[in-house]
A and B are shown apart, each in its own frame.
Chain A
Amino acid sequence: DGGITQSPKYLFRKEGQNVTLSCEQNLNHDAMYWYRQDPGQGLRLIYYSQIVNDFQKGDIAEGYSVSREKKESFPLTVTSAQKNPTAFYLCASKREGDTGELFFGEGSRLTVL
């Protein structure tokens, strides 16, 4: 079955460390997204990519970086420059030309100790 796989599901990090969250999809979707979810707030867009080797900053890109070397993969690195990285991170994908329905991965919960 096609889907989106995020890993790890849970991650603990010490302050000052970079961590990379993996996102892989086998849906053959062109567009991929990274969102951050905090309690009491809507999903906030970190980065998105509509095509391989191209990506755009979202509303809260500071302290994060991404790459899109393959259509299937869109990893997110949370750098030490991100001041408040503890959050639930969601990766999603979407076919071009669709109404806009997003398909989400299971999420990665990052906790900074």
Chain B
Amino acid sequence: GQNIDQPTEMTATEGAIVQINCTYQTSGFNGLFWYQQHAGEAPTFLSYNVLDGLEEKGRFSSFLSRSKGYSYLLLKELQMKDSASYLCAVSDSNYQLIWGAGTKLIIKP
């Protein structure tokens, strides 16, 4: 079966760095996405990785290792507004997205 695993909840301090991991087992791979979702709102696109390595975009970076079926989202200089759920999704061999359950990130002052 297809499976995406990510931690249910994480807590971090304002101004710090946090890494949210995602491991996957899917039938085929056509890229991995990270989305941010504030409570009661729609998910918004953060990043897309299809090749191994690190993609940096401002305070957010995303890493992919296809051989390990592993990705992480790195958030630097955390702000209170970063409190949200972070969703990992993999595009499978049919270009359909398989979604993880999301990681709820709590930022404390």
Question: Which residues from A are CB-within-8-Å of B27?
Answer: none
A-B pair count, CB < 8 Å, reads 49
Q: Is B7 an interface residue, CB under 8 A from the partner?
A: no
**Minimum C-beta distance from B104 to chain A (A):** 10
Q: Which chain B residue shows the least CB distance to A98? A: B48
Q: In whole angstroms, how far apart are the Cα atoms of A101 and B50 in the complex?
A: 12
Asked whether, in the complex, the Cβ of B8 is within 8 Å of the Cβ of A100, the reply is no
Asked whether, in the complex, the Cβ of B48 is within 8 Å of the Cβ of A107, the reply is no
Interface membership of chain A positions 90-113, coded 1 if the CB is closer than 8 angstroms to chain B and 0 otherwise: 100000000111111111010000
Main secondary structure, interface of B, reads loop
Question: Which residues from B are CB-within-8-Å of A42?
Answer: 4, 87, 89, 98-102
In the A-B complex, the 4 residue pairs with the closest CB atoms: A42-B99, A104-B42, A43-B99, A42-B101
Q: Is A41 an interface residue, CB under 8 A from the partner?
A: yes
* Residues of A within 8 A of B (CB-CB), count: 18
Interface membership of chain B positions 21-64, coded 1 if the CB is closer than 8 angstroms to chain A and 0 otherwise: 00000000011010000001111110010100000000000000
Q: Is A2 an interface residue, CB under 8 A from the partner?
A: no
Q: Which chain B residue shows the least CB distance to A9? A: B40
Main secondary structure, interface of A, reads loop
User: Size range of the interface on B?
Assistant: 20 to 34
Which residues 57-113 of A sit at the B interface, judged by CB distance below 8 A? 88, 90, 99-107, 109
**Minimum C-beta distance from B9 to chain A (A):** 10
Q: In whole angstroms, how far apart are the Cα atoms of A102 and B33 in the complex?
A: 10
Q: Of A41, A100, A101, A107, which is within 8 A of B40 by CB? A: A107
